[in-house]
């Protein structure tokens, strides 16, 4: 029973990070895997990360 719960929670985090990655313009498959294997430890990285468009705009204009 415990293994089933761990797998379901891992899938839940994978789907959550997949969704958030899609909204921010990141690679959805990569973030699904990160969510599946690292769960809540991967969540802050995607929540605090900038949108891909904003990051590309800053790198091309040289802003900090």
Tens of pLDDT along 42-54? 999 999 988 877 6
Q: Which residues contact 46 (CB under 8 A, 6 or more apart)?
A: 17, 20, 21, 24, 26, 31
Spatial neighbors of 47 by CB under 8 A, at least 6 apart, are 20
| Number of domains forming the structure of the chain | 1
Q: What is the pLDDT of residues 5-35, one digit of tens each?
A: 999 999 999 999 999 999 999 999 999 999 9
Range of the domain at 34: 2-61
């Amino acid at each position: 029973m415990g293994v089933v719960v761990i797998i379901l929670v891992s899938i839940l985090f994978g789907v959550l990070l997949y969704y958030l990655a899609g909204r921010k313009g990141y690679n959805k498959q990569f973030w699904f895997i990160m969510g599946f294997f690292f769960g809540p430890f991967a969540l802050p990285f995607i929540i605090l990360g900038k949108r891909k468009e904003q990051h590309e705009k800053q790198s091309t204009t040289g802003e900090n």
